[in-house]
Amino acid sequence: MRNSNAEQTAAWDGAAGEHRVRHAATIDAGARAQNAAFRAATGIMASDRVLDVGCGTGQSTRDAARAAVSGSVLGVDLSSLMLESARELSDADGLRNVTYEQADAQVHTFAPAGFDVVISRFGTMFFDDHLAAFSNLARALRPAGRLVMMVWQSRGNNEWANVVRDALGPVKETAMSASPFSLSDQATVTGILDAAGFGGIKFTDVQVPISYGSDVDTTYSFVRELRSTNDLLVTLDPLAAEHALERVYNSIAAHETEDGVLFDSRSWIVEATSAGRATSNLS
């Protein structure tokens, strides 16, 4: 197997991880509706052994731990900073059946058939080699074990992804900016999962609003500190950058409601079952 993209690994264990930790409360609150749908779909039983891929600061991991009361949950992520926060939050909640490990799920050696359920909420889109990654996860699942993941649909179906880009002007697509939508196409995902050793593939459409803050200033702070925002700003001269940020602020203000700053969003919940035929020689 080849290693995951070094640029993404460095970003998640650096500035991107720092941003997520700093704004963890905002992110978790803003994705409340998505998380409720995802939590219901995971269907975790009391004795399940659960792997949470790309667990971040651990909201989905803690939810899984509360359900798997006589089982166990392992959360893995590339970001040491997010994992540190996840451990602190789990300890504060008194959860004793959850552990965290800094690991790249694409290449990490998990115990074969060591899990009943693999879950991931917006964590699997960032794999550098999706076939290698899902084949690795299939090996980690017991026969007939379940994969449940939430991934974004296309950029065009996600208003939150376009507000900043539209305000800043024409944008050159990069691997980093495209990766959140790498699993948006059903046919592509089905082909990858089938080749990786999964069957019974099912898609559920989730269309609910997402918030980046309770008010305009909170949301502006969140998006202003995003790496993607700064990557775009450095391509502009100072005056153009100032005007672009004014447009960003105004666009955010146009989405303010009594329930916070809301944007349209659309995602898939993808469910699949390990068919016990994961590929074993990938490069």
- Total domains in the chain come to 1
- Is 78 inside any structural domain? yes
pLDDT of residue 62: 98
pLDDT tens column, 11-22:
777 777 788 888
* Local structure of 8: helix, strand or coil: helix
- Is 20 inside any structural domain? yes
Q: How many CA atoms lie within 13 A of 61 on its CB side?
A: 32
Strand residue runs (E) in 180-263: 198-207, 210-211, 256-257, 260-263
End-to-end Cα separation, the chain, in angstroms: 4
- Is 76 inside any structural domain? yes
Q: Which of 280, 5, 273 is nearest to 127 (CA)?
A: 5
- Is 229 inside any structural domain? no
Range(s) of the domain holding residue 107: 6-154+175-211+266-274
What lies within 8 Å, CB to CB, of 182 at 6+ separation is: 125, 126, 127, 130
pLDDT of residue 171: 56
Question: Is the pTM for the entire model greater than 0.95?
Answer: no
- Is 168 inside any structural domain? no
Instruction: Report residue 139's pLDDT band, with 50, 70 and 90 as the boundaries.
Output: very high
- Is 239 inside any structural domain? no
- Is 130 inside any structural domain? yes
CATH of the domain at 50: 3.40.50.150
pLDDT tens column, 16-40:
778 888 888 888 888 999 999 999 9
- Is 227 inside any structural domain? no
